[in-house]
Amino acid sequence: MSMTEPWQKAEIPGPTKALVITKPEVVVAMVKKAKRPILIVGHEAAEVDVGDKKAIDYAIRMAEAGKIPVVATAHMIGEFNKRGFQSSSSMSAVDVANRLEDSEWKGLDGLGQYDLALFMGITYYMEWVILSSLKHFGGNLKTLSLDRYYQPHASWSFPNLSVGDWAQSLELIVNKLRGE
Amino acid sequence: MSKKNVVIKIKELKTDTALIKDLELRFGRVMEETWTEPVGPTPFPSITALREWDHKLLQRYKPFYMPYCDVCCLCTFGKCDLTAGKRGACGINMEAQQSRIVLLACLIGASTHTAHARHLVEHLINKHGAGYPIDIGGLNIEVEAPIARLVCGIRPKTLGDLEEVLDYCENQITNLLSSTHTGQEGSNIDFESKVFHAGMIDHLGLEIADIAQITALGFPKADPEAPLVELGYGTIDSQKPTILCIGHNVVPATGIVDYLKENGLYGEVEVCGLCCTAHDVTRYSPKAKIVGPISWQLRFIRSGLPDVIILDEQCVRTDSLLEAQKIKAPVIVTSEKNCMGLPNRTRDPVDAIVTELVEGKVPGVLILDPEKVGEVAARTAVKVAPTRKKFKVIPNVEDIIEGAKTCKKCNDCRRACPQDLQIMDAVAEAADGNLDALANLYDSCVGCGRCESACQVDLPLHGYIVKAGEKKLKEEKFKVRSGRGAIQDVEIRNVGSPIVLGDIPGVVAVVGCSNYPHGGKEVVEICQEFANRRYIVLTSGCAAMTAAMYKDEEGKTLYEQYSGAFEAGGIVNVGSCVSNAHIAGAAIKIASIFAKRNLRANYEEIADYILNRVGAVGVAWGAYSQKAAAIGSGFWRLGVPVIVGPHGSKYRRMLLGREDHEEDWYVYDARTGDRVSVGPAPEHLFYAAESKEEAMVMIAKLCMRPNDTTKGRAIKLTHYIDLHKRLYKTVPEDLNLFVRTEADIPITMKDEILKILEDKRWKEGRIPDPTLLPRMIRKRKD
């Protein structure tokens, strides 16, 4: 099995495919390089186990470590609040993607458009088409999938990973963002 | 009725001043004069006649494209890479290509419904004559064909009158399809306008089909108390010969029922159906049974219960013949659109066909005569059943355990599964003798069979899931209210005012296919939630079946618990896919019957009315098909928003409003001509939700309309806030956009909301008589 195949094998994207994140340090570098990163977290993040934690727990730690604003899609805002993370914004997946394609959008804080969107926890096939939209119409925006499965429409994506490797990668990203 | 292509020839005309010879006058169309309602501006609208209205909608609800892939591969110049601004060899860009694909999908849907309608109308005219009077509700229905009246400006009275509408549909579909050829339309927005046109044409096709079959096949006629009929695998008597009808066109199934009745066999043979033919055969005969939605095809065939399988058209698995052969069940295909490679035996003697089918000399036959289908099916079923002995291809437990041990653990099954079900892990547990994990997949499985196709060692994995879930399958015994058809005029009169003023918080139409993200229970929860909140809930198609597939503690399904009337708190099954016309029709009739607006060829005004006043939302939680896309696009043009589940994102394009763009939400006040900001109501026209919770909150939100009274808006806000608090665990952040005056604020939440409004620097607005059409302004402000 090639490690860079789309998770759902029939989802063939076309000529432009995501660069594979072979080292989690790449994510750290991308976040640090970005002037305006944003983290978009879908409803599966509260359901998917990453070792003894949920994916949302890593999202929170990453957001705090990298000072990255968070958009909680679907009904996820409650999950963030429940975990004591009060600073996420609530917006649907299609709404936030739509705004990311608008060069005039002022962002969640009124300070302007974002240059790096990190995605986690949106259902694979829905995230697929959203990332495709951003690839085609997102202008200079770069996208990065933090999910466990290869998302070829992103600018960067993890390959298909075991849960253990995924957890290790997310842990490393959090720690590096904290400067540890 | 109108007359088309009227020609007057005058050989010689002498007047005082001239002699005219061979005068020929041609009239494209002469409208009926006995109908006193004036003809509106757009009878039989051309592709561009409603373009301005479409552009108004598309200016507010801009397309948001989500391409499946980067290329176009529709001509031999291709493949062309359209990534990020590139253009193809023909000059097309990605936006136009995506809207072109959406248009193609909607045209597939519209042509399918129109062709279905054409077949029904021709068949029924052959049987009853063109002069057979239309009747879809007796004295309870005066506006018999709201969509045809609105779009075409005609009032059909007989089956023959329906043909003119179909002529128009076919003409429009041909023209629309031609626009998708390489080197035709190049603007994505004009493609989108054509998508709307295709949707409107689709609704006409739906309406004509259901009017014809309700009229001539004796279906329930706008009956809120249409019979409760049986649904589910467990309702089929396995001791009897069983005929299974799959598809959407009920005509062959009526031939079967008729033959069985005429020959005293109806109690002896089970007639059941899958997908919309199932709905319609129970509308024809309440003793027939519904097995379930489209996703039950594989599991039911493989169960071995059907002795003869009848395939008509639409949503029929194209491997049905192969699956039928596995269980040794003969197949009869009955539609020119779906011949399955079988020989045409329409003109052959029944005895010879039956003999060959019973003896297995042929796996199936094509018969295009529904009466002959009836006789062949019935006689074959009776003869085949004793020898077939319900032969099935569902594996037994031992086979599963042994097969599971050969699994190569490649995980290709999961990676082929549209639901990402953890099939490989479940198979691994099965190898240890535990089938629980496989059984747990049963409810979420959409029955596509892709896991089996992907399996490197050819394990019948869908069969494994079905066997493991067999207990659930056999316990599937439910009651569903048979499709009632149209909504009565008197029902519209009763609820028109509370809907338009907002006292009834909304009309929620739960429709479409069964490609649900997490099984059907979410559909039941959505229906029940909104019925309990006193919305009017409508159902149709596969979703209407799914809504029946769960029982309460007393063993009752939703249809046994809730009224079938078009009233607050009702759950109203209108019928099959083509019955969706009655949902659009109800919205149109509110404008006509309650608000006394002229319908006749007056599309733009009525759509403007619905968009601004009728709080209706469509929910197609498992939409998969091109037909569903076409139905949705008909609703968009009419101003009714549609929400789809996450799989619906694969339709490639949403129509999204921007609540943060204040300038998008102005309407005219028809009383004064002032431009008034009314907030994002409704915010979106086509929207994919990630989760059931998101969908529920969005349903409540999208029911808000600019015309809501303060009392009505307060009721709608109460539901929006309450659902948001329960499902999102927070108060909505956009309340300032929906509160127009303090009187809009729900009284029990006043302090809390006033504080939020204060933080948002909210300013009081006003409630206009809303319209997007300058011509509707009664008094201009100079």
Under DSSP, the state recorded for B38 is P
Query: What domain range is B16 assigned to?
Result: 1-30
Task: Out of B388, B405, B436, pick the residue that ends a domain.
Answer: B388
Q: How many CB pairs under 8 A join A and B?
A: 130
Contact by Cβ (8 Å): B714, B745: yes
Task: Report which residue type is found at B548.
Answer: A
Q: Which positions 636-655 of B are in contact with A (Cβ < 8 Å)?
A: 646-647, 649-650, 652, 654
CA distances to B369, B578, B731 from B629, in Å: 31, 13, 33
Which tens digit of pLDDT belongs to each residue from B537-553?
999 999 999 999 999 99
- A52: CB partners within 8 A, 6+ apart: none
Listed residue (A131, A14, A4) closest to B83, CA to CA: A14
Question: Is residue B442 located within the same domain as residue B330?
Answer: no
Contact by Cβ (8 Å): B516, B542: no
Give the pLDDT band (50/70/90) at residue B321: very high
Domain membership flag for residue A13: no
Neighbours of A35 (CB within 10 A): 8
Spatial separation of the C-alpha atoms in residues B485 and B283, rounded to whole Å: 9
- Residue B771 pLDDT exceeds 60: yes
Question: Is residue B325 located within the same domain as residue B249?
Answer: yes
- Residue A66 pLDDT exceeds 90: yes
pTM: 0.96
Domain membership flag for residue A2: no
Share of chain A above pLDDT 70, in %: 98
Task: Out of B444, B459, B474, pick the residue that ends a domain.
Answer: B459
At residue B31, the pLDDT reads: 63
Using CB atoms within 10 A of its CB, is residue B357 exposed (0-12), middle (13-18) or buried (19+)? Answer: buried
Domain membership flag for residue A12: no
Domain count, chain A: 1
Domain membership flag for residue A65: yes
- Residue B198 pLDDT exceeds 80: yes
Best mutation target, A2, A49, A75, to test chain B (most B CBs within 10 A): A75
Question: Is residue B272 located within the same domain as residue B382?
Answer: yes
At residue A33, the pLDDT reads: 97
Neighbours of B573 (CB within 10 A): 28
Which tens digit of pLDDT belongs to each residue from B342-374?
999 999 999 999 999 999 999 999 999 999 999
According to the 3-state scheme, what is the secondary structure of chain A? Answer: CCCCCCCCCCCCCCCCCCEECCCCHHHHHHHHHCCCEEEEECHHHHCCEECCEEHHHHHHHHHHHHCCCEEECCCCHHHHHHCCCCCCEECCHHHHHHHHCCCCCCCCCCCCCCCEEEEECCCHHHHHHHHHHHHHHCCCCEEEECCCCCCCCCCEECCCCCHHHHHHHHHHHHHHHCCC
At residue B19, the pLDDT reads: 85
User: Out of B84, B454, B688, whose CB is closest to A136?
Assistant: B84
C-alpha dihedral (B655, B658, B659, B664), degrees to nearest 10: -100
Q: Which residues of A touch B85 (CB under 8 A)?
A: 136
User: Out of A122, A126, A129, whose CB is closest to B68?
Assistant: A129
Q: Report the first-to-last Cα separation within chain B, whole angstroms.
A: 43
- At B274, give phi and psi (nearest 5°): -125, 140
Nearest-Cα distance to chain A for B45, in Å, is 33
Mean pLDDT over all residues of chain B? Answer: 96
Domain membership flag for residue B321: yes
Q: Where are the beta strands (DSSP E) in B613-656?
A: 616-620, 642-644, 653-656
For residue B274, the SS3 value is strand
Cross-chain residue pair A15–B698, CB shorter than 8 Å? no
Which tens digit of pLDDT belongs to each residue from B656-698?
999 999 999 999 999 999 999 999 999 999 999 999 999 999 9
Question: Is residue B246 located within the same domain as residue B384?
Answer: yes
Whether B752 contacts chain A with CB within 8 A: no
Spatial separation of the C-alpha atoms in residues B589 and B603, rounded to whole Å: 12
Distance from the Cα of residue B777 to its chain's centroid: 35
Which tens digit of pLDDT belongs to each residue from B413-434?
999 999 999 999 999 999 999 9
CA angle B241, B245, B475 (to 5 degrees): 65
The two three-digit tokens of residue B339, written as one number: 């011949």
Altogether, the residues listed in chain B come to a count of: 782
At residue A1, the pLDDT reads: 40
**DSSP output for B740-752:** -SGGGS-GGGHHH
According to the 3-state scheme, what is the secondary structure of B720-732? Answer: HHHHHHHHCCCCC
Which tens digit of pLDDT belongs to each residue from B65-94?
999 999 999 999 999 999 989 999 999 999
At residue B563, the pLDDT reads: 98
Whether B68 contacts chain A with CB within 8 A: yes
- At A29, give phi and psi (nearest 5°): -65, -40
Q: Which positions 507-536 of B are in contact with A (Cβ < 8 Å)?
A: 517
Question: Is residue B372 located within the same domain as residue B424?
Answer: no
B657: closest chain A residue by CA? A95
Listed residue (B476, B494, B477, B616) closest to B224, CA to CA: B494
Cross-chain residue pair B690–A92, CB shorter than 8 Å? yes
Nearest-Cα distance to chain B for A93, in Å, is 7
Higher pLDDT, B503 or B630: B630
Domain membership flag for residue B327: yes
Contact by Cβ (8 Å): B725, B693: no
Nearest-Cα distance to chain A for B628, in Å, is 18
Spatial separation of the C-alpha atoms in residues B442 and B462, rounded to whole Å: 9
- B369: CB partners within 8 A, 6+ apart: B346
Listed residue (B294, B298, B315) closest to B462, CA to CA: B298
Spatial separation of the C-alpha atoms in residues B426 and A84, rounded to whole Å: 36
Nearest-Cα distance to chain A for B395, in Å, is 27
Domain membership flag for residue B25: yes
Q: Where are the beta strands (DSSP E) in B266-323?
A: 270-274, 289-292, 308-311
Question: Is residue B417 located within the same domain as residue B369?
Answer: no
Domain membership flag for residue A25: yes
Average pLDDT over residues B751-777: 96
Nearest-Cα distance to chain B for A60, in Å, is 18
Task: Report which residue type is found at B728.
Answer: Y
Query: What domain range is A163 assigned to?
Result: 19-177
Between helix B159-178 and helix B188-217 the angle, nearest 10°, is: 160
Domain membership flag for residue A11: no
Cross-chain residue pair A123–B690, CB shorter than 8 Å? yes
Spatial separation of the C-alpha atoms in residues B360 and B345, rounded to whole Å: 15
Average pLDDT over residues B318-327: 97
- Residue B14 pLDDT exceeds 90: no
Q: Which residue has the tokens 């959406």?
A: B102
Question: Is residue B301 located within the same domain as residue B440?
Answer: no
Which tens digit of pLDDT belongs to each residue from B235-287?
999 999 999 999 999 999 999 999 999 999 999 999 999 999 999 999 999 99
Nearest-Cα distance to chain A for B668, in Å, is 27
Contact by Cβ (8 Å): B575, B485: yes
Domain count, chain B: 3
Q: Which residues of A touch B655 (CB under 8 A)?
A: none
At residue A100, the pLDDT reads: 98
Average pLDDT over residues B188-213: 98
Neighbours of B124 (CB within 10 A): 20
Cross-chain residue pair B70–A125, CB shorter than 8 Å? no
Find the CATH number of the domain harbouring A130.
3.40.50.1220
- A143: CB partners within 8 A, 6+ apart: A116, A117, A118, A119, A131, A134, A135, A153, A154, A155, A156
Task: Report which residue type is found at B338.
Answer: N
At residue B223, the pLDDT reads: 98
Cross-chain residue pair A77–B729, CB shorter than 8 Å? yes
Under DSSP, the state recorded for B236 is S
Contact by Cβ (8 Å): B706, B772: no
- Residue A2 pLDDT exceeds 70: no
Domain membership flag for residue A86: yes
- At B290, give phi and psi (nearest 5°): -105, 125
**DSSP output for B62-88:** EEEE--SSSEE-SSTT--EE-GGG---
Task: Out of B459, B486, B504, pick the residue that ends a domain.
Answer: B459
At residue B6, the pLDDT reads: 72
Under DSSP, the state recorded for B130 is T
Nearest-Cα distance to chain B for A175, in Å, is 30
Whether B82 contacts chain A with CB within 8 A: yes
At residue B25, the pLDDT reads: 78
Domain membership flag for residue B325: yes
A74: closest chain B residue by CA? B694
Q: Which residue has the tokens 């490690």?
A: A3
- Residue B4 pLDDT exceeds 80: no
Higher pLDDT, B524 or A1: B524
Mean pLDDT over all residues of chain A? Answer: 95
- Residue B29 pLDDT exceeds 80: no
Q: Which positions 718-747 of B are in contact with A (Cβ < 8 Å)?
A: 727-730, 733
Listed residue (B468, B463, B446, B456) closest to B413, CA to CA: B456
Question: Is residue B376 located within the same domain as residue B410?
Answer: no
Listed residue (B221, B177, B173) closest to B74, CA to CA: B177
Spatial separation of the C-alpha atoms in residues B404 and B400, rounded to whole Å: 6
Q: Which positions 98-127 of B are in contact with A (Cβ < 8 Å)?
A: none
Average pLDDT over residues B722-740: 97
Contact by Cβ (8 Å): B276, B541: yes
Backbone dihedral region for residue A51 (phi beyond 0: left; psi -120 to 50: alpha; all else: beta):
left
Nearest-Cα distance to chain B for A80, in Å, is 10
- Residue B389 pLDDT exceeds 90: yes
The two three-digit tokens of residue B590, written as one number: 């509110």
Question: Is residue B293 located within the same domain as residue B433?
Answer: no
Question: Is residue B382 located within the same domain as residue B406?
Answer: no
Q: Which residues of B touch A10 (CB under 8 A)?
A: 416
The two three-digit tokens of residue B269, written as one number: 């043979």
Task: Report which residue type is found at B498.
Answer: P
Domain membership flag for residue A146: yes
Strand order from edge to edge, sheet including A142-145: A19-20, A156-157, A142-145, A116-120, A37-41, A70-72, A89-90
Average pLDDT over residues B126-148: 96
Question: Is residue B237 located within the same domain as residue B384?
Answer: yes
Spatial separation of the C-alpha atoms in residues B532 and B527, rounded to whole Å: 9
Share of chain A above pLDDT 90, in %: 94
Question: Is residue B405 located within the same domain as residue B383?
Answer: no
